[in-house]
């Protein structure tokens, strides 16, 4: 077996054509199929479909996608909990299937169902001490104190039974557990879940600072666009098990520049007599305008084709000619959320 020299690999995480499908029917159905000579197989749902991506060392990498897109499956494959059906997954230079123990020595994990693995009738302190010993950290007591300080779960709360903690505190305890091994690669699945606003702000800062270890790679899966936008160096969009886009936040947003139309908001002074319907009708006659509809009493949304750059001037001219007092004309900024939604709807290629 060739053991990879981790210092030579550029990437902390590599997925090459990873495929993972789940049986729709349970064991009983498969047994029946086997006994009736139809084979020990059933209908399958594809969770990862030839998924490939590379995450550079020291990167904060975000994974976005709708429910059931394959995000959690990908994290479980990378953290050695699930065996891929085909393809290879490498973490910190080691294969997740053939060198799973070495992978586990190098990762910290926060799963979505983060409350599992904790003794509910034990304190967070006792739980974390167990994990610190299992991860064989040099000074378990010191490490537990450090991580509890990072997640702001010090004092009395650390010594309460786990079951007595609020949801948010339980999430902090789970985050602390992920930090215990001070791992080179950290997997965070919905880390902001149940956390209060103030701690989410702190979490963003902590992620940006890689939890005090600059070379650490963070693989972040979440639905929280703000968390992704503010912390991630790059993002992958996953849908139906396939990686459909990879890039920086700006790169994903800029995909809209290649779209056929751009949206503008035209703001005018309130005209009690005519309203905006008349203006909308007039603007629709401008060459290059595809859509014009009032948003309220003073705002009009206008869709303009990108290949008619003069259309914007014509819109302004039309409004002025009809006696409207224009106060602003602004191009709509596309949010990351809209970008992702459009990518998922296939509106951007």
Partner 1 sequence: MLGYLIIDFNEWVSYKLEISFWLLNTLIGAITYAYLGSNVALQNQEYMAQYGSFLSFLLVGMSFNYLIYASLEAPRMAINPWNLEWNLTLPTSLYEVIIGSVFFRYLVGLLQFTLYLSIASAFGVTYAIDTASTIVTIILGAAVMWGFGMISAGVQVITKRWDPVTWFFTMLGGLLSGVWFPYQLLPPSLQNLSKVMPQTYILEMLRRAMLRSESIPSLWESLYPLMITAFIILSIGSFIYSKSIKYSKKYGTTGEF
List residues binding partner 1 (CB under 8 A): 20, 22-23, 27, 47, 73, 76, 79-83, 101, 104-105, 107, 109, 111, 113, 116-117, 131, 134-136, 181
Task: Give the shortest CB-133-to-partner 1 separation in angstroms.
Answer: 10
Contact 57, 217 (CB under 8 A): yes
Task: Give the shortest CB-181-to-partner 1 separation in angstroms.
Answer: 8
Nearer to partner 1, 218 or 343 (CB): 218
Task: Give the shortest CB-142-to-partner 1 separation in angstroms.
Answer: 19
Task: Give the shortest CB-102-to-partner 1 separation in angstroms.
Answer: 8
Task: Give the shortest CB-101-to-partner 1 separation in angstroms.
Answer: 6
Nearer to partner 1, 99 or 229 (CB): 99
Contact 18, 84 (CB under 8 A): yes
Nearer to partner 1, 135 or 161 (CB): 135
Contact 84, 157 (CB under 8 A): no
Nearer to partner 1, 172 or 177 (CB): 177
- Exposed, middle or buried, 194 (CB in 10 Å: 0-12/13-18/19+)? middle
Task: Give the shortest CB-66-to-partner 1 separation in angstroms.
Answer: 19
Task: Give the shortest CB-329-to-partner 1 separation in angstroms.
Answer: 53
Nearer to partner 1, 20 or 253 (CB): 20
CB atoms within 10 A of CB 83: 12
Q: How many CA atoms lie within 13 A of 48 on its CB side?
A: 26
Nearer to partner 1, 73 or 318 (CB): 73
How many secondary structure helices (H) and strands (E) does the chain include? 12, 14
Q: Which of 268, 239, 253, 267 is nearest to 345 (CA)?
A: 239
Nearer to partner 1, 186 or 227 (CB): 186
Nearer to partner 1, 107 or 283 (CB): 107
> Residues 6 or more apart from 333 whose CB is under 8 A from it?
none
- Exposed, middle or buried, 282 (CB in 10 Å: 0-12/13-18/19+)? middle
CB atoms within 10 A of CB 324: 21
Strands of the sheet with 299-305, listed across from one edge: 289-294, 299-305, 261-268, 326-331
CB atoms within 10 A of CB 297: 11
Task: Give the shortest CB-73-to-partner 1 separation in angstroms.
Answer: 7
> CA–CA separation, 73 vs 21, rounded Å?
10
């Amino acid at each position: 077996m060739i053991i990879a020299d981790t210092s030579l690999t550029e990437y902390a995480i590599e997925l090459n054509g990873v495929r993972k499908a789940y049986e729709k029917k349970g064991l009983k159905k498969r047994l029946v199929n086997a006994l009736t000579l139809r084979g020990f197989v059933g209908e399958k749902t594809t969770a990862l479909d030839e998924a490939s991506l590379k995450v550079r060392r020291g990167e904060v990498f975000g994974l976005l996608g709708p429910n059931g897109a394959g995000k959690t499956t990908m994290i479980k494959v990378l953290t050695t909990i699930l065996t891929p059906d085909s393809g290879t997954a490498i973490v910190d230079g080691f294969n997740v299937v053939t060198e799973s123990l070495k992978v586990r020595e190098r990762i910290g994990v926060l799963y979505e169902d983060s409350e599992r693995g904790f003794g509910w009738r034990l304190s967070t302190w006792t739980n974390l001490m167990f994990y610190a010993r299992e991860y064989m950290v040099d000074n378990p007591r010191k490490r537990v104190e450090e991580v509890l300080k990072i997640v702001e779960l010090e004092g009395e709360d650390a010594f309460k039974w786990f079951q007595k903690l609020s949801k948010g505190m339980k999430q902090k305890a789970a985050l602390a557990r992920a930090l215990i091994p001070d791992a080179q690669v950290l997997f965070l699945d919905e880390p902001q879940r149940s956390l209060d606003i103030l701690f989410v702000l702190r979490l963003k800062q902590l992620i940006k600072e890689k939890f005090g270890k600059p070379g650490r790679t963070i693989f972040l899966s979440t639905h929280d666009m703000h968390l992704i936008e503010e912390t991630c160096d790059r993002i992958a969009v996953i849908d139906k098990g396939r990686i459909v886009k990879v890039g920086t936040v700006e790169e994903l947003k800029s995909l809209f520049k290649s779209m056929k139309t751009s949206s503008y908001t035209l703001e005018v002074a309130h005209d009690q007599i005519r309203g905006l319907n008349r203006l909308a009708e007039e603007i629709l006659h401008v060459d290059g305008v595809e859509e014009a509809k009032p948003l309220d009493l003073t705002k009009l949304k206008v869709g303009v084709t990108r290949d008619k750059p003069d259309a914007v001037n014509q819109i302004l001219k039309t409004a002025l000619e009809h006696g409207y007092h224009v106060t602003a004309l602004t191009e709509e900024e596309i949010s990351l959320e809209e970008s992702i939604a459009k990518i998922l709807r296939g509106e951007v290629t």
